[in-house]
Structure 1
Amino acid sequence: MITVIPDLLSSEEVSAFQQALASASWVNGSETAGHIAAQVKQNEQLPLDHPVARELAEIILAALSQCPEFVAATLPARILPPRFNRYQGGGVYGNHIDNAVFAVPGSSDRLRSDISATLFLSHPDEYDGGELVIEDTYGTQTIKLPAGHLMVYPASSVHRVNPVSRGARVASFFWVQSLVREDHKRRMLLELDQSIQALTLHNADTQTVARLTGVYHNLIREWSNP
């Protein structure tokens, strides 16, 4: 399931992020990739312990916790702290699938990557190329979103970032371990949740809404696998 969450960050927050990231010290992104991924990865990243990366990651995590659309779409159990990358001068990331498990920085814990997320931080007219291309059950989708918009999609998807021929494409990226591991089940739960919300807005019978809400929560109980 591919879901766009608009305006996770406000325009003012995007501007503040851009200023902070413009003055940060970036490193070669291939240093953080596995052996196979490093062969198709040409970008820059902020070190995980960079103070700017830590500060901005906290802002993103706070925004996610206050975003009902994100919670409904991902049913998050755990979120890996957001990271930051930059593509410019032909930077590209060829076809790849994200790691299934990530170490949580500063601990011995591990996180299963059920969902990948990309938060666009550059305006589309600031760079050419740089589209996020995702191959999933429904074919190939090419995405280039406004700054501040978030894209979430199954981490099991083959995806790539097209070469950036002008300007710089800056983004944050992270992974989510969901309470519900299977993508098709999360899709059904999201559709059920959206239907309940629509019925509530249209003043549907309260007993009907209550029964459907009970079905929703009981399915989460049945399917939860943190």
Structure 2
Amino acid sequence: MIFSIDQILSSEDLAEIKQVLQQAEFIDGKLTAGWHAKLVKNNQQLKSGTSQNELKAKIRAALAKNSLFQSTVRPKSVHSLLISRYDVAMSYDTHVDNALMKGKSGLCRSDVSFTLFLDSPQDYEGGELVIEGVQEEQSYKLEAGSAIFYPSTTLHRVNPVTKGTRLVVVGWVQSIIRDASDREILFDLDTARRAIFAKSGKTPEFDLISKSIANLLRKWADV
């Protein structure tokens, strides 16, 4: 399932992050790419240090309090974050994200990938995130502070930037629900349950759906 969430970052958080990045040092993005991705990756990434740690903590905090992210992704850990910059002529050609990445407690699965946009689409040209499907491609270029989430299993790319600068946060999540179709079932059930509660309160139908969600979590959760 591919979905977007608007305004994950508040305007205040976004302004603070952009201010820090104006003075920050970026390095060659190939340093964090896999051996085959190095061939097609042409961007820059924020250098490790105190400012990067503070920005990552702010982004993780914003995700932790976003109810849509929590109910859709059901994160076990947001284990990897990179702050990337694309200047004119920079791009990242077709690739798939690594299945396993290093987290604080060891190797983590990448179940869900995301791109959090830090610039308005009017601030740069090109630089679309393109996700490849079986029969078609879809491109995404969201407002600053908004993010697109997609299965880490997909082939995707970033088109060349032709004007301006593209600043984004890219991240990877290990979900407590390994299978993407199972996550979608849980999200649909939870959406229906909330709609019933908003309309009629705690009804027998609400209780039955709540029971199904709880039992499916017991069956599928990887904790």
Same fold (TM over 0.5): yes
User: What percentage of residue pairs aligned between the two structures are identical?
Assistant: 37
- Indicate the residue corresponding to 1:117 in structure 2: 114
- Indicate the residue corresponding to 1:64 in structure 2: 63
Query: 5+ residue gaps in structure 2?
Result: none
Give how far 1:199 is off. Answer: 1.1
Give the secondary structure class of the aligned counterpart of 1:19: helix
Query: 5+ residue gaps in structure 1?
Result: none
- Indicate the residue corresponding to 1:102 in structure 2: 101
Which AA in structure 1 matches 2:84? N
Query: Is the 8 Å Cα contact of residues 61 and 81 (structure 1) preserved in structure 2?
Result: no
Structure-2 separation of matches of 1:40 and 1:126: 24
Give how far 1:133 is off. Answer: 0.5
Structure-2 separation of matches of 1:6 and 1:171: 14
Give the secondary structure class of the aligned counterpart of 1:177: strand
Moved more, 197-206 or 95-104: 197-206
TM-score, normalising length: structure 1: 0.95
Q: Give deviations 1:54-95, integer Å, cap 9, x for gaps.
A: 101001111111111000110111111422000012110000
Does residue 127 of the first structure (1) align with residue 135 of the second (2)?
no
In angstroms, what is the RMSD of aligned CA positions?
1.4
- Indicate the residue corresponding to 2:169 in structure 1: 172
Runs of 4+ in 1 over 2 A off after TM superposition: 136-139
- Matches of residues 132-143 of structure 1 in structure 2 within 5 Å? 132-136=129-133, 139-143=136-140
Structure-2 separation of matches of 1:147 and 1:138: 29
Relative to structure 1, is the Cα distance of residues 183 and 131 closer, same or farther in structure 2, using a 3 angstrom cutoff? same
Moved more, 75-84 or 158-167: 75-84
Query: Is the 8 Å Cα contact of residues 57 and 81 (structure 1) preserved in structure 2?
Result: no
Structure-2 separation of matches of 1:169 and 1:217: 41
Moved more, 205-214 or 170-179: 205-214
Give the secondary structure class of the aligned counterpart of 1:77: strand
Query: Is the 8 Å Cα contact of residues 3 and 73 (structure 1) preserved in structure 2?
Result: no
Structure-2 separation of matches of 1:115 and 1:9: 19
- Matches of residues 23-42 of structure 1 in structure 2 within 5 Å? 23-42=23-42
Structure-1 separation of matches of 2:115 and 2:83: 10
Aligned length: 223
Query: Is the 8 Å Cα contact of residues 120 and 170 (structure 1) preserved in structure 2?
Result: yes
Q: Give deviations 1:26-66, integer Å, cap 9, x for gaps.
A: 0010111112101100000013x322211010011111111
Give how far 1:187 is off. Answer: 1.0
